[in-house]
Structure 1
Amino acid sequence: MARKAFKERLREIRMSDYDAEMYEKFSGNVRKQVKAMRIILDALQAKGKERQWLKHQMTGELDDMKLIEGLTGEKNIYKRRAEQEPEPGTPQQKPKRIRICVDVSGSMYRFNGLDQRLERSVEAACMVMESFDGYKEKFKYEIWGHSGDGYDIQLVAYDKPPTNNKERLEVLKTMHAHAQFCMSGDHTLEATRHAIKEIKKDEADEYFVVMLSDANLERYGIRPMLLNEALTADEEVNAFVIFIGSIGDQADRLKKQLASGRSFVCLDTKNIPQIMQQIFTSSLLK
Structure 2
Amino acid sequence: MLVNAFGELRTLADEGVLNYPYSTREVVNIVKHLEKYPHDSMSELVGNVLDFDKYQPEALQQVTTVLSKHGLPIEAYARNELFALRRKKEIQLTVERKSGLDVSNPKYGKVDPKNEPHVGGNTWAGGTGGRDTAGLGGKGGPFRLDAGHKVRQLSDEEKDAIPEEVKQAAREMNRKAFEDKLKEIRMSAHDHKLYAQFSEPIRKQVQQLKAVLEAMQTKSNERQWQKYQTHGELDDTRLIEGITGEKNIYRRRAEANPWADHIQEKPNRLKLVVDVSGSMYRFNGYDGRLDRELEAVVMVMEAFEGFEKKIVYDIVGHSGEGWEIPFVNAGSPPKTDKERFETIRMMHAHSQFCWSGDSTVKAIKEAVNTLSTENYDNSIVVVLSDANLSRYGIQPKELGKALMNGEPKVKGHMLFIGSLEEEADEINAQMPAGHSYVCMDLTKLPQILKQIFTSSLL
Alpha-carbon distance in 2 for matches of 1:87, 1:210 = 35
After superposition, the Cα gap between the structure-2 partners of 1:136 and 1:284, relative to the gap in structure 1 and judged at 3 Å, is closer
1:46 is displaced (CA, Å) by 4.2
State the alpha-carbon separation in 1 of the partners of residues 337 and 237 from structure 2. Answer: 59
- Tell me whether 1:156 sits opposite 2:335 in the alignment: no
CA deviation vs aligned residue, 1:59-103 (integer Å, no higher than 9, x gap): 9523168679xxxxxxxxx89xxxxxx999798611111010110
Map of 2:241 onto structure 1: 62
SS across alignment from 1:63: helix
C-alpha spacing 1:63/1:136, structure 2 compared with 1 (3 Å): same
Q: Which residue of 2 aligns with 1:263?
A: 436
Distance in structure 2 (CA, Å) of the matches to 1:27 and 1:154: 22
Match in the other structure for 2:396: 224
Give the alignment partner of residue 275 of structure 2, picking from 103, 107, 112: 103
The equivalences for 1:221-260 within 5 A come to 221-233=393-405, 234-260=407-433
8 Å contact from structure 2 (residues 379, 456) kept in 1: no
Percent identity of equivalent pairs: 43
Aligned length: 257
Q: CA deviation at 1:185?
A: 0.6
Alpha-carbon separation, structure 1, partners of 2:457 and 2:383? 20
RMSD over aligned CA atoms reads 3.1
Pick the aligned partner of 1:138 from 310, 330, 335: 310
Distance 2:237 2:303 in 1: 48
* CA apart distance, 1:161: 1.1
Please say if residues 379 and 457 of structure 2, whose CA atoms lie closer than 8 Å, have aligned partners that are also in contact: no
* Compared CA separation, residues 87 and 200, structure 1 to 2 (3 A): farther
SS of equivalent residue, structure 1 residue 235: coil
Conserved 8 A contact 1:93-1:205: no
Give 1:159 shift. Answer: 2.4
1:121 to 287, 293, 300: 293
Larger Rg: 2
The structure-2 alpha-carbon separation of the partners of 1:41 and 1:15, relative to structure 1 and needing over 3 Å to count, comes to farther
Distance 1:105 1:204 in 2: 30
Moved over 3 A (4+): 14-17, 52-60, 64-68, 86-92
Q: Decide which moves more: 89-98 or 275-284.
A: 89-98
SS of the residue 2:399 aligns to? helix
Relative to 1, partners in 2 of residues 1:134 and 1:224: Cα closer, same or farther, differing over 3 Å? same
Query: Where does residue 37 of structure 1 map in the other structure?
Result: 209
Change over 3 Å in CA distance of 1:67–1:232 after alignment to 2:
same
1:158-201 per-residue CA deviation (whole Å, 9 max, x = no partner) reads 12211101111010101111111101111110110111111233
> Paired residue for 1:72?
none
Cα distance 1:232–1:20, how it changes in 2: closer, same or farther (>3 A)? same
Q: Gaps spanning 5+ residues in structure 2: where?
A: 1-186
**Distance between the aligned counterparts of 2:434 and 2:254, measured in 1?**
26
* 1:82 alignment partner in structure 2: none
Cα separation, 1, equivalents of 2:243 and 2:327: 55
Counterpart AA for 2:432:
A
Aligned equivalents of 1:88 and 1:271: distance in 2?
A: 34
**Cα distance change, pair 111–96 in 1 and its aligned pair in 2 (3 A):** same
Q: Aligned equivalents of 1:22 and 1:87: distance in 2?
A: 50
Distance 1:61 1:164, change over 3 A: same
Q: Give the Å deviation of 1:208.
A: 1.1
Instruction: Return the alpha-carbon distance in structure 2 between the equivalents of residues 88 and 149 of structure 1.
Output: 51
Amino acid paired to 1:273: P
Higher relative contact order (CA 8 A, sep 6+): 1
The 3 A distance-change label for structure 1 pair 107 and 93 is same
Q: 1:224-283 deviations in whole A, cap 9, x for unaligned?
A: 111111111122212100000011110111111111011000001111101100111113
Aligned to 1:170: 342
SS in 2 for 1:62: helix
Greater displacement, 200-209 / 171-180: 200-209
Contiguous gaps of at least 5 residues in structure 1: 1-13, 69-77, 80-85
Residue type at the aligned position of 1:212: L
CA contact (8 A) 2:268 2:457 kept: no
Report the CA distance shift for 1:87/1:112 in structure 2 as closer, same or farther (over 3 A).
farther
Counterpart AA for 2:444: N
SS of residue matched to 2:327: strand
Q: How far, CA to CA, are the matches of 2:357 and 2:439 in structure 1?
A: 22
Q: 1: CA distance between counterparts of 2:256 and 2:200?
A: 33
TM-score by structure 2 length?
0.51
